[in-house]
Every structure is written in structure tokens, then in C-alpha cells.
Structure 1
Amino acid sequence: MLKDLTALFAPQNRRLIKLTTVARDEQELLLESFSGTESLSELFSFELSMISRDASLELKSQIGQPAQLAIELATGESRYINGYISTFSLEGSDGGLARYSATLSPWLWMLSRRVDSRIFQEQTIEAVIRTVFAAYGALPDFEFQLSQPLKTHSYITQYRESDLTFVLRLLEHEGLFFYFDHNQEKHTLIILDHSRDLSPLPQQPTIRYHSASVTETADSITEWRSHRRLQSGRMSIQTFDYKQPRNQLPVGMPSLNEQGNVDAYEVYDVLDHYSHGTFKDGERLVRQRLEAIEVQGKTFTGNSNCRAMYPGHTFELTQHFDHDRGSAEDRSFLLITVKHEGSNNYLSDESAGYTNEFVCIRHKIPYRHPITVPRPSINGPLSAIVVGPEGEEVFTDELARIQVRLHWQRGDSLPQGTTWLRVAMPSAGSGFGHQFMPRIGQEVLVTFLAGDIDRPLVTSVLYNNINLPPRFSKASGLPGNRTLSGIRTQEHKGSGFNELLFDDTPGSLRARSRARASAPAAPPPERHRCAGRVRSSPDRRRPDACVADVLRLRRCPAHSVIRHPAH
């Protein structure tokens, strides 16, 4: 039989686990039980089961609102878990009591509700993440605790990703990891690049192994298991950078993991273009990737009733038969994951309870989170508009690169254009090849090397309703001139042009090259030929005049051979 409702809804401060929400008072929602998981570099999530005398709570009044769990420790202190309610449901009501359920998530979860596409240039990962967080006002609470400066990235793209996925991807690829620190007021995201300085659990730095924990006055570990997993023993990488194309910067490194008498299986990976610009950067990258492998080589799991446990902190294990003989360093463990379960005894005469399962590694092993968030996939090319400084018509650099603005870039997407992009040409060699630079305002086709959104490349130029094909004839354009082929360039900041025309009209084959300046110039010389007959007018060109040569191929006998005209 249910306890008396008046006693049931007495103040929660005498309960093992206290729930605080934005409900009208703290008696309105009482926590019956909870379960959840906390892990390094993962968002925590807690499922709450609650009871209330009010079956008509407005569900949307709870969504997105802060809530707090306060778990009473053996010392009488409290361990706090803060978050925001991301789901809230009415599970049923029997007329006297209503049952509700909710999910408690960190503030970082809110970033999963917003999807964006934008470009960042010449920034560190920290600067990019700070920009993302700034859009959420006072909600984010975070700290970067880094041991060394982060490198500057020339080009980073968020493409059709949620802000959460984007941030997690950047952290993983940079070798950073995080955990959440909770106090009575809030929870803070702590972002790190190393694990060696992580501190002991503030409320229980030493934990005893004791299988009969019911006789213990302090929380203890009741089960302890160790695991070995065969891992790759070496990693090698190389990359390609068009700025130093003859140096692929190969880097190889063995694992520091001691795995016994086994082969050192190698992971060889050809990383993204420009993944590392120097050998030192390559070594750092390989070391980070190896650490993500090594951390899985030897792990420890267990069960406990230690309510003070949470990831991102260490503890010293005592009185365990397999570790007591080891050094203090070997008895220090870093918590990676903790799965919690707890309940109050509102509807039962049994005592309230708490248990957990945990995963840890030795603290002396550097922690690095594996790369689990993939880059956004790009299934094909995108078109873009060539951009440049106002007043310019052709904007390029010594490598024949241009800047473009992709159509999905919004007004608040800084900078206005992309970084410098290479342009594919029909041929390109050392001092020879084609050179046709796309001009500001033209539409170009952008492809992505190996489908990597951060490695764009211009492959061709497109006509559109503003930039129409050249007419090549005063009579009409396309489709009337569909038998005309050729090239027409545009005078820089003028209306003149150079032209090479091929007329494939049946029975009227001809070719023509000419130049036309913006202003009238002296009459150009003219050459005519057919089957080797060449006729040229006197050369009246001035040194500063625009040259115009007209080459006409008249109808010739089928057996005739067209030779280059004499100069």
C-alpha cells in the first residue's frame, strides 16, 4: 500500500537523491529513480523517473529548463549533476499520483538543435569553437585548459552540420578531449589537450576495493576486472601539399604499448591533403593517433557504490590483491566512463540505493579520444561565384589561384570569400601550360579532393543567365550559331576582345583570329590563304596600337594541304 501522500511529499532533503526543477515548488516533482552515463568526450545523459500529485503539468513548461540532481555522499556532502531537460513526458496517472519521465542533458546538447554551413579562415580550433559558442549567449559555460598553443588552420568548413557535430569533429581531429565539471550552481565544459594533470576525485580521492561493501562505512569498489586487447603496434602516414609537391612528409612511429611477443601490425594511412606541413607536425599527429589506439590496449572495469565517481578525475585504488604491491603510479587510475543507477524509496519500504559501473585506465597512460565523428560528405561538385576586391576584374596570385563565394554562404558567414583555390587547367607544367583565369562575377564549378569539404578546387567555368556565351556573330547567338566554336577573351576593364573562331558550317569551313580594341585603332593587316597562297596587307601597326590579325580559311579542294602562313 502506498505511503500516506502527505508524508510522501515531505521535503526531499531527507532523501538520498534530491531533484530540483523549475516546477512551482520542490514537492511538485519527486525523483523516484534515475540512470545515466558520463564519459570523456561524450555528452552525459540521465533518464529520470518522477512522481507528482499534479497530472496536468504543462510539458512544454519543463522543456529546455535547468534541473539538478543532488546525490548525498557517505560524508554527508552532495555530489551535483546539473543539466537541462531535453525531453519531458507524462507516462500515466492513477488519479492520486502522476508519473513523469525526463532526460537531463548538458548545455552542449542544445547545439544539436542548430544546423549551419559556414567557412572559417586562418583560425585555431579554439577560436572557431568560441565563435560557435558565442551564438548561444549566456548558455555556454566552458574552459580551455591547454598545455601548448594550437596551430592555425587556413580553411575550416562547417557544411550542413549541427553545431554540436561540428564542434565534436573539430575537437577529435585536433586531439582534444573534454569532460563536464559540476558544482552546486552549474556545469562547466572543460576542454584539454593532455590528461597528465587531471586531478583526483575531490570528494573521494582514494577508493578501497572490498567485495563485501555492505559492511563499509565509506563507498568502495565491489568488483574489479582487467582487460587486454591486441592493438596495432605502429602507425605511418604521408600527405601531399601542392606548395611542396616533392615532399610527401612521410612519418612513422612505433607504439609505446608493451603487448608481449606479438607482431607490430602497422596502420598506414594517406591522410587528407595538407594534413601536416612539417615533419614535426606529422610526428605530433601520429603520436595523437597512436595514443587513441594505446588507450584501448589495457582497460579496467568495475562496479561500485562510489557516488563521488565521475569521468575526468583520478582515484587511487587500495587493498586490491593485484595492485597493492605496485607503485603509487600504477595504482592511480583515470575514470573514462561511469554508468549510474540510483533510486529513492518513495513508493517502497526498501532503502534507497545507488550503484555504478565504470571504465578506467592507468593515469600514466595518455588519454586521447578516438576519431568517431566523420567529416561531412560531399557527393558532388558545387558551383560558386568568383569574388575579389572592389574595382578589380581579375584577382589572382602567383599560383594562379582565385577566390570564390559558395552559394550557401550567408551574409554573416565570414569571410566574404573562400581561401585561395587552385584552378584546374587543360595543361600545367613548369613555365608552360594554359592560362585562362576566371574573372570576378563568373560562375565556376568547385570540386573537393577525395570528397573533403575542406579541400576545394575549381575545375571549370559555367555560363548562366548573366554571363551568356559569346555570340561570335552579329546575326544571332545560340542556338542559331551552334556550328561556331572558338575562344573569345575580354579586354581587361574594357570592351575589346581577342577571338579565335572556327566555323564548322557544312560547305563553309573557315577559321578566324582577330582582336578588337575598345577604341578605334589603325586598320589592321590582313592575311588570306588557301592551299599555300598567302596575301598580306602592309603592316600599319603602331607599337602602342592593338594588333588585329584576321586569318580566313576559304573553301579549298579536298586534296589541298593547309600550311601555316609565312610571317
Structure 2
Amino acid sequence: MEKAGRRFLATDAYLELKQFLGRAASLKTRLSDGSEATRTGLVRSASKLGSDGGFARYRITLVPWVWLLSRGRHNRVFQDKTVIQIAEAVFGDYADVAAWQWSDEVSGFLADTRPRSYCVQYGESDYTFISRLLAEEGLGWCVEEDDQAPAGHRLRLFADSRRFPEDILSQSANGGRGLRYHRADSQEAQDAIVAFGEQRRLTSSVLSAISYDYKAKKTVSLNVPGSQSIGGEHAPVLESYDDPGLYAWANAGEAERYGRLAMEARETRQRTWLARSTVRSLRPGTAFDLICLPIDPQQTSFEHRYNATDITHVGINNLSGDAIAAVAQRLGEGLASQDDAH
């Protein structure tokens, strides 16, 4: 997720806000090597914050086209359709603005899954429905720029986060390969990670479930232990039990597959990292190499490649100090509102 609530100055205090809604707009950020990073979305909301002396301040909130799925709600049934076919049908309802791409590994990842004999969307938004199906199949998504897309960006659906493309500054030769753990300084050739810390959470370490196959008249159960150590020697072994209902799986192999995917989802939330940086190019769905990080000399292994999953960017235009002061005197500081981040 990438938050994109922006405030802008204009010399016209009478812009009609209605004209902005639903339009594609891009925010361009100048990077350390002189190139630009573009973030494109649809205008979800626009508001005028005030005006004085020929200046006006507006707030514009951009969202990816997939946000529109949260506004659509349907009750429908899909019979003998794969998850890809169901997703394609739902996305097709938004064809005027939608663009998406399945990563190369998805077809192989889903090769052994069977079509869903009877899949129901009831009382759910299209966004909740699709998010649920993708999560059940172990698929994720992120947003990336696409000049050929109707709204200037597309949804990329993936099965393996280890194949994320590398951040453009991480792969840049300007200042060396990778992102440095370093102080922030205007004289540095490249942006840097200025704070980096590990987070761990206690989660369930065993996943159990049982379903009844009314056709074969037998039960199908699963018991999936985690693949990672959760906590220290005093950490409790926590079991998560689920009742998926009748005929949830065709056989024990299918039960094991979905149980393993559910356990992996829990494990990804067990260990994360939180960082603060000056890296202007980072966005969810990309990876970066972290270098120059001081580590415990007793530590035998250390990860250098990390995935960006949730980012909040904060920045201002590179105006002169006098210009910033004049605007603040006339219009105030323009404090952020909760709407900026949602």
C-alpha cells in the first residue's frame, strides 16, 4: 500500500472541483540521479482549503483504479471457473479504467488447482471478494506505472514475492549498487536508509482444520506446522483451528496445499522490518538491497534483500525559503488531515 494524499498551490482560486474527480493524474518526483519517478492514480477527492492574495490551496487524493472495486457490490455465482477467470470477469466490469497483468509464475503456481465448482459473491464489495479469492490461492498484487493503460497504471498480480523487480535507485550505479544505511545529506550522491529495525510478533505455530466430503463419505483433515521458529524457548505453541465447511477440499493433497498457504500468510506477518529513509523511488511491490548496515558480529546470517510492502511518502516542493514563508503567512501551514492517507 502506498499513501498518496497531496496538497497543492494554485494561482486560480475558482477551479471547479467536480472536473477533477475520476481523472487520471500523476505526481512526478525528481530523484537523486536527475531522473523522475512517476506515481499515477485516479482523483478520488478534491477540496479547496483556502485562498488569499492570489494563491489557493487544494487537496487532491489519488487512488489506484482497483480502489473502484470497493465501491462496487454484487451478488452473483461463478460455476466451474478458475480464480483467474473469476478475477478477469470482475476486472472486466471496470474496463474503462482497468489494466492488469499476471506475472509469469502465476500460471505454473496454479497449475494443480481445480476450477471452483460453485463460487459465491454475496454481500461483499468487488474488492473484498477478489481480495479473499486471491488470498486463498496465495496470490498478491501491487500497482505499477503503465503508459499504455487507460489510467496510466496497472495491477500486477504475482505468486512469488521473491521475484519483485529491484528499486531503480537500488540498482543504480550512481553512488554504488544497493541502498546504503547512512545519514541523510544533500551532498550525498544517492538517497539512503537512515533508520532500520526488526519487528517480531507472536503468531500461531500450528494450523488445523477438518472438512467432510459428503460424496466419498469421509473426513479430510490437515495439521500444518510452521516452517519457522516462533519466539524463544519460552514461547507457547499456539494452534489455529478452522472449520471450512463441507467439501472444502477434494483430497488430502489439496487440503495440505491450502493449509500451507494459510500458514505462510501468518508467517509473513511474524517478522517484518520498519525503516525511515530519503529514498524517493521506493514503492510497494519492489525490492532493494541494503548495504553498510552494522550488524552483530556473532550473527552468522543476514538478509540483504528486502521487499517494500507499505510506504508513506512525505515531501514538499523545492521552493525558496522566502516563498514557503510567504505562502505559510497567507494560507497557514496546511496541516495534513486524515483524508490524506486513506
- TMscore range, shorter length: 0.7 to 0.9
C-alpha separation between the residues in 2 aligned to 1:258 and 1:123? Answer: 37
Q: Residue 323 and residue 101 in structure 1: after superposition, are their counterparts in 2 closer, same or farther (change >3 A)?
A: farther
- Residues 346, 310 of structure 1: alpha-carbon distance in 2 compared, 3 angstrom cutoff: same
1:170 corresponds in structure 2 to 133
- Equivalences for 1:82-121 in 2 at 5 Å? 82-121=40-79
Alpha-carbon distance change, 97 to 304 in structure 1, aligned in 2, over 3 angstroms: same
User: Given the superposition, is the C-alpha separation of residues 111 and 279 from structure 1 closer, same or farther in structure 2, using an over 3 Å criterion?
Assistant: same
* Cα distance in structure 2, aligned partners of 1:143 and 1:240: 36
CA distance, structure 1, for counterparts of residue 42 and residue 209 of structure 2 = 42
Decide which of 115, 129, 143 is 1:180's aligned counterpart: 143
Corresponding residue of 2:340: none
Contact 1:318 1:324 in 2 (8 A): no
- The 5 A counterparts of 1:38-57 are 39=1, 44-57=2-15
Distance apart, 1:279 and its partner CA: 0.9
Q: Give the match's secondary structure for 1:132.
A: helix
The alpha-carbon deviation at position 53 of structure 1 amounts to 1.5
CA shift at 1:309, angstroms? 0.9
Q: How does 1:238-387 map to 2 (within 5 A)?
A: 238-246=210-218, 248-259=219-230, 260-261=232-233, 262-322=235-295, 330-346=303-319, 348-349=321-322
The TM-score with structure 1 as length reference comes to: 0.51
Find the counterpart in structure 2 of residue 193 from structure 1. Answer: 159
Letter matched to residue 287 of structure 2: T
Deviations 1:103-149 (A, max 9, x none): 10001112223222111100011101111111222411101120322
The answer to whether the 8 Å contact 2:203/2:266 transfers is yes
* 1:189-236 alpha-carbon deviations (Å, 9 max, x no partner): 011122222232133231100135455221001011112222221111
For 1:326 and 1:315, how far apart are their aligned partners in 2? 21
| SS at 2:109 equivalent | coil
* 1:130 aligned onto 2:88: yes
What is the distance in 1 between the residues matched to 2:35 and 2:301?
A: 27
Could you tell me whether the CA contact under 8 Å between 1:45 and 1:103 is conserved in 2? no
Moved more, 267-276 or 220-229: 267-276
1:408-460 deviations in Å (ceiling 9; x for gaps) = xxxxxxxxxxxxxxxxxxxxxxxxxxxxxxxxxxxxxxxxxxxxxxxxxxxxx
Distance in structure 2 (CA, Å) of the matches to 1:60 and 1:268: 50
Which of these two proteins has the greater Rg computed from alpha carbons?
Answer: 1
Q: Which has the higher contact order (CA 8 A, sep 6+)?
A: 2
Q: Which aligned runs of 4 or more in structure 1 are off by greater than 6 angstroms?
A: 323-329
Aligned-partner SS, 2:161: coil
SS of 2:241's equivalent?
Answer: strand
Once residues 340 and 134 of structure 1 are traced to their aligned partners in structure 2, the CA distance between those partners, rounded to angstroms, is 31
The 5-angstrom pairing of residues 501-540 of structure 1 reads none
Q: CA deviation at 1:156?
A: 1.2
CA drift of 1:152 comes to 0.7
Corresponding residue for residue 562 of structure 1? none
Secondary structure of 2:128 counterpart: helix
Which of 109, 117, 122 is matched with 1:148 structurally? 109
Paired amino acid for 2:188: E
> 3-state SS of the aligned residue for 2:80?
strand
Give the whole-Å Cα distance in 2 for the aligned partners of 1:348 and 1:212: 20
- How far 1:330 moved relative to its partner? 1.8
Name the structure 2 match of 1:208: 180
Which is helix-richer, 1 or 2? 2
Q: Distance in 1 between matches of 2:17 and 2:50?
A: 13
Matches within 5 A, 1:412-427: none
2:196 to 199, 203, 224: 224
SS of the residue 1:86 aligns to: strand
* 3-state SS of 2:155 partner: strand
Percent of pairs identical after alignment? 31
Alignment length, in residue pairs?
A: 308
8 Å Cα contact 1:181/1:187 also seen in 2: yes
Q: Taking structure 1 as reference, are residues 132 and 184 closer, same or farther at Cα in structure 2, changes over 3 Å only?
A: closer
**Contact (CA 8 Å) 1:257, 1:297: kept in 2 or not?**
no
1:313-336 C-alpha deviation (Å, 9 max, x unpaired): 211111111179978972111112
Distance 1:177 1:216 in 2: 35
Q: Distance in 1 between matches of 2:323 and 2:55?
A: 20
C-alpha separation in 2, matches of 1:193 and 1:127: 16
Match runs of 1:484-563 below 5 Å: none
Offset of 1:264 from its aligned partner? 2.5
Q: List runs of 5+ in structure 2 lacking aligned partners.
A: 172-177, 325-342
Secondary structure of the equivalent of 2:242?
strand
Distance 1:338 1:318, change over 3 A: same
Shift of 1:346: 4.1
Which residue of 2 is the match for residue 237 of structure 1? 209
Q: Residues 276, 212 of structure 1: CA spacing in aligned structure 2 closer, same or farther, 3 A cutoff? A: same
| 2:68 match: secondary structure | helix
1-structure distance, mates of 2:126, 2:16: 29
SS in 2 for 1:164: helix
Contact 1:84 1:105 in 2 (8 A): yes
| Partner-residue secondary structure (3-state), 1:122 | coil
Q: Distance in 1 between the 2:276 and 2:87 partners? A: 36
Q: Secondary structure at the match of 1:172?
A: helix
2-side partners of 1:229 and 1:273: how far apart?
A: 33
Measured against aligned partners, the alpha-carbon deviations of 1:276-307 in whole angstroms (never above 9, x if no partner) come to 11111111111111111111222111100001
Aligned counterparts of 2:115 and 2:267: Cα–Cα separation in 1: 27
TM-score normalised according to structure 2 size: 0.83
